[in-house]
Structure 1
């Protein structure tokens, strides 16, 4: 397991179990808190410590007593400057390099010898279910841990929502809603039917070739030069048709269309609701350049990554006769506009908005590495860190009022139901 993955899994673990007492997992959760805070303060200016405490607990369930240890880790990593003393911190100044992987640095900081046995088993479980769903008994056999430790880790994981166990075809299938968002029952059934190894192989080949046209894959029995067995082809087709992959499509002239396949959407903890539309725009960008690369009418896109980088830097793609069909999805999703140049030639012009720049960065990363990255950031939390104490106190107060209102409504509804049942008994 890479150090980068250790940090990612610690982030997921804290996200799932931040509100729970889990003494066996303290060190992993500390790393997770540090990773969570780091990705949200990168690029910000000086942050008042009282604001940091309030916002860290409100958004990420980082307790004020645990925040000092998190600050110590970030200070050791030279991710922050601490203003004040150890006993009385006034503020922190983030200094996290923009092009440095936070997870990689935190993973390198983690010393494997510091993990206790429970933490090692938890990491092993997450590493297994990150790539694919797995038969529960096979998961236990693969890890080879003491049964009590396995039960402890699986119980924690199920309590926090890190994993679910689905019964399919007489088997118990363990999968994670953090890494697979859609139609988990269908995915569990396919795993029980075809085996986790085949699922992993299909997803691995998809990851190396994000946005490939589905019809080309099915007709040629390969994706990006990697051959697919009949079982793998059937799995890919089933995952696309059952909504596990949710491939976007592009309509062509004459009423035709094409689907473009990507790895399954991650769950809400890794792809929050605010970023979901940005990710959909990124997939649309990849699909459009894949169409030009692999299914051109006349002019082939030779270098998709270079084209998107140029689009981001220049703000437009030179005019051609296929743009009006190829890029319609981007117009519909408000990523760009099409400018008529002459005859049947149109130029694609980027709508210069933050969400479109982020979508381009994600699209470039999808093509270059296959990875879905930087979609876990909560923009509301990031904004709170840049405000004063009054602002975050108002956010917390509003949240508490909403909770009280929900409780009151629930009590009233219960009372009315009780009265209804009493009247029925008369």
Structure 2
């Protein structure tokens, strides 16, 4: 039975996928997802006018006004916010979320899986099977005990919400979640049908525990971070790379190119445009310190996490003769500069801005836990919550104008096309 963090994390994903789609089959699941959405975006913010929160929630989070009050009330009950009222009217909220508290866990303690209806339970059980691997549809049904008609309805809703996608591969029905796997899903489904989900899960779990490991060492030693791989698992890992399911970054040095392995990139819904750039920089940061740790020429890095913490806190890494090769990619990505010191030695200096700080925090998390920490946060929404109502109103007006412009353009294009056809009659 799902509970706590897992229960709310999956509910958040369902809510994000469905957006403003009304699903009569769901009830509490959407409320859980909305409460979690608010919690992860409110932490660290000052007092927020309720009218501003209402507009931002509707525009960015697809939380309508009638549902916002219940989500806010839940956060008040779990003491994540203080609600300021005048009579029965909510005037503002004051976020009071502990910095080190797990947000999903905090909201999750308020809900119970057993209180959800069968469609909600079925959806969350299916999604929980797909977080770390694709899966055979019949195996999911057997593992969860979901009836066929209920499974089909959950699949229908999930396909619309883009968190389920079904493939027919090698005579088998394979389900993949585009939330957790972004690239080349048809090949991933085919590999699952061919090799089974178990080996894929083992390989991805090992990669998660050793993010940024050099591919050449994996192929040479048949091991990853001290964990032995079977020949089948090694072949599978290489195939995941060659088919574009894993899209590892690479570093060129001394005329050679080295590839560094990471878990699959999450889908667009899970990783928005601004966070994708942070993610790319984080992978590059991990790759650079892994190169120094595992493929050093002279000066081996013994504590990769400590190097990144030093870069974040002090703004530079001590100079050495390998820095020019090791950190060149970070210069291209605008993470920092290479500053010559003496002889062939260079010092890598950080470009201090919010994006690079977030990338460093993510890189440290990838090394410590393998997790994509804080990548669910919509930075544009956070910015809007820190501004006034005029700011969000301008954002909303701009979005509406773009829609109208697109409609006008399409109509004009159709008319011009019709006139062109008439000219040739």
Structure 1 residue 27: deviation in Å? 0.7
Instruction: Verify the 8 A CA contact 1:35 1:102 in the aligned structure 2.
Output: yes
Structure 1 residue 377: deviation in Å? 1.6
Distance in 2, Cα, partners of 1:315 & 1:238? 38
Structure 1 residue 415: deviation in Å? 4.2
User: Is 1:124 the counterpart of 2:121 in the alignment?
Assistant: no
Cα RMSD for the two superposed structures: 1.7
| Unmatched runs of 5 consecutive residues or more in structure 2 | none
1:160 corresponds in structure 2 to 161
1:142 corresponds in structure 2 to 143
Distance in 1, Cα, partners of 2:335 & 2:404? 40
1:376 corresponds in structure 2 to 376
Name the CA shift for 1:29/1:205 in 2 (closer, same or farther; >3 Å). Answer: same
Q: How does 1:22-421 map to 2 (within 5 A)?
A: 22-85=23-86, 87-253=88-254, 255-417=255-417
Greater displacement, 383-392 / 180-189: 383-392
Structure 1 residue 159: deviation in Å? 0.9
Distance in 1, Cα, partners of 2:324 & 2:65? 55
Instruction: Verify the 8 A CA contact 1:269 1:376 in the aligned structure 2.
Output: no
Structure 1 residue 55: deviation in Å? 1.1
**Is the partner of 1:131 in helix, strand or coil?**
coil
Name the CA shift for 1:296/1:113 in 2 (closer, same or farther; >3 Å). Answer: same
Question: Cα deviation per residue 1:163-185 (whole Å; 9 max; x = unaligned)?
Answer: 11122222221101110011111
Q: TM-score, normalised by structure 2?
A: 0.96
Distance in 1, Cα, partners of 2:168 & 2:274? 32
Distance in 1, Cα, partners of 2:75 & 2:252? 48
Distance in 2, Cα, partners of 1:176 & 1:94? 33
Distance in 1, Cα, partners of 2:422 & 2:102? 62
| Unmatched runs of 5 consecutive residues or more in structure 1 | none
Greater displacement, 100-109 / 173-182: 100-109
Instruction: Verify the 8 A CA contact 2:3 2:112 in the aligned structure 1.
Output: no
Question: Cα deviation per residue 1:7-51 (whole Å; 9 max; x = unaligned)?
Answer: 111111111113222233211111110111111122111111111
Structure 1 residue 407: deviation in Å? 2.0
Question: Cα deviation per residue 1:29-81 (whole Å; 9 max; x = unaligned)?
Answer: 11110111111122111111111111111111101000110110110121111
2:12 corresponds in structure 1 to 11
Greater displacement, 231-240 / 255-264: 231-240
Instruction: Verify the 8 A CA contact 1:319 1:345 in the aligned structure 2.
Output: yes
Structure 1 residue 279: deviation in Å? 0.7
Name the CA shift for 1:341/1:235 in 2 (closer, same or farther; >3 Å). Answer: same
**Is the partner of 1:62 in helix, strand or coil?**
coil
Q: TM-score, normalised by structure 1?
A: 0.95
Structure 1 residue 137: deviation in Å? 1.9
**Is the partner of 2:219 in helix, strand or coil?**
helix
**Is the partner of 2:200 in helix, strand or coil?**
helix
Structure 1 residue 85: deviation in Å? 4.2
Greater displacement, 365-374 / 160-169: 160-169
